[in-house]
Amino acid sequence: MQDLTPKADKARYVQEMFTRIARRYDLMNGLMTGGRHQAWRRAAARLAEPQPGGLALDVAVGTGDLALAFLSATHVRRVVGVDFSDGMLKVGREKLRRLDPAGRVSLVAGDALRLPFPDKTFACVASAFLLRNLADLAQGFTEMRRVTQAGGRVVALEITEPALPGWSAVFRWYFRRLVPLLGALVSGHREAYTYLPQSVARFLPPPELARVMERAGLRDVGYRRLGLGTVTIHSGTA
């Protein structure tokens, strides 16, 4: 299914949506995944991990969970997180004051399609649940590669529709029927959690996404499915 939303309209819609749900975002992630999303983030961080002391970038940092996963699961000492949702950044800063008192994570406002950093700034770049929301997927990967040092990893954790017979039907029923109801109850914004399964249904399957990454100039591109195929970690080398 093709996404026909104009790029500027999609960017504005996503930005406003995430600001509206920021206060309940963490709770909904935990409920929807049975708490597994944190383990998936740690796996993505470990795959991206550069040499000790390298600076990591978390694109679409949200409330900071992937940035915190870098600190807990790797030898990375400093993380920069960038996001264009003011609401997410506000919640993220409040969380980091509690969970990162040493100030190892720095949050900045910025667009994933125009990252506010010079070329080759970071030893690795990672994102969690960003890709479906980009108005221009190819440009997003081009920017991630641009700010990554040569030989560094670009890693993206994303929701995918599973291919296992039987399980795929159960997943679609849960994701398209129950998640919007849960989202309306917990966050008060059913529309956001209706958009979520719709965006997954429209998104590229892993083999096609790998080709987008390669066209953006990334090498050694691969992917690994987790959660019975409901999430995939994509990776490539700058």
Amino acid at 111: D
Alpha helices in 7-80 (DSSP H): 7-33, 37-48, 65-73
Q: Mean pLDDT in the chain?
A: 94
Phi, psi for residue 153 in degrees, rounded to 5: -95, 140
- Tens digit of each residue's pLDDT (9 = 90 or more) over 83-96: 999 999 999 999 99
Task: Give the CATH class of 7-163+204-237.
Answer: alpha beta
Are 86 and 17 in contact, with CB atoms under 8 Å apart? no
Strands 122-128, 55-59: pairing is parallel
216 pLDDT more than 70? yes
Q: What is the rounded distance in angstroms from the CA atom of residue 65 to the CA atom of residue 153?
A: 19
Q: What is the rounded distance in angstroms from the CA atom of residue 48 to the CA atom of residue 28?
A: 26
- End-to-end, the C-alpha distance of the chain in Å comes to 30
| pLDDT confidence band for 161 (50 / 70 / 90) | very high
pTM here is 0.92
- Residue 8 has a pLDDT of 66
Helical (H) or strand (E) element with 210 = helix 206-215
E-assigned strands of the chain?
55-59, 78-83, 105-109, 122-128, 148-159, 219-226, 231-237
- Residue 53 has a pLDDT of 81
Least confident stretch, 78-82, 148-152, 166-170: 166-170
**Lookup result for tokens 């991630």:** 144
